[in-house]
Structure 1
Amino acid sequence: MSLLQDVWNRLKVQCRKQLCDVWNPNMTPVCRNTALSHCNLGFHSSICDLALQSGPPTLKLGSHTLTFRHGQWVRHGGARENARLQGLRWRLQKLEEENRELKLRLEILIDMLVDTTVHMHTLEREVGQIERVRQFRHPEKNVLYAKRKGPSTSG
């Protein structure tokens, strides 16, 4: 067993030496030159150079700008965009007025159709009553009238 312990102790010593040469927790590693290490980054320059903003996140897609506020993306536009929106709102208002006018005209036309239909049914009833009275008073004229008109389907 002493041979194994001796080999084990030698491996421990060898590993410690190799590890201690590579990494020492008491020493801080030397910084290597990176792309930003040669820049002078103070507090004010880091905000300007790195474009850090303290406001809400903003996203720009083409000519549209969106800002995230109160849990929603809000769209921003220039003067041209606002003028366009105002023109669309005006057009929407005009179309809504036209829609109300057309609905009113449609209601009037439906009322006129109902009135005409009622008038037509009233006239048909009156014609039917006149025909029944004529058949009752002058049955011989009805026979002559039926012969002139053609063969009767009822009889």
Structure 2
Amino acid sequence: MEAFWFVQVLKCYAPAQMPSLRLLKMPLFGSTFSPKKTPPRKSASLSNLHNLDRSTREVELGLDYGTPTMNLAGQSLKFENGQWIAETGVSGGVDRRETQRLRRRNQQLEEENNLLRLKVDILLDMLSETTAESHLMEKELDELKSVSRRRK
């Protein structure tokens, strides 16, 4: 509809000696959107590292990292069997017994925290139940009052 209007305006105002302007269409109105085609993707390069056996990879590429170690607050730790273990017997003044005591205390506190959360949930359930019952009683009381007023 808009393209037709634009062409009509051009026909009225375009001079007779410029017939090409009469049929001029703006790209916004007449042409359709046709994006350029994207070139095909290059095939992914496949590495031959997966063909090498483990020992060859370790020798050629240096993939033998050993156990992970870190130094944290002057304490050297290594990762073995899923746990961080201190490399020295007494590290930074914290011995193994102290660590075990702290772990037990941490476990106790976590259990106590879980118990307290359970108690809070139970208390909230009790509170909501009591609130619902009180609302029902208030509603019944209001209904009884309205019935008694009607009788008078």
Task: Report which of the two has the higher share of helix.
Answer: 1
State the TM-score bracket (shorter-chain normalisation).
0.3 to 0.5
Q: How does the TM-score come out when normalised to structure 1? A: 0.42
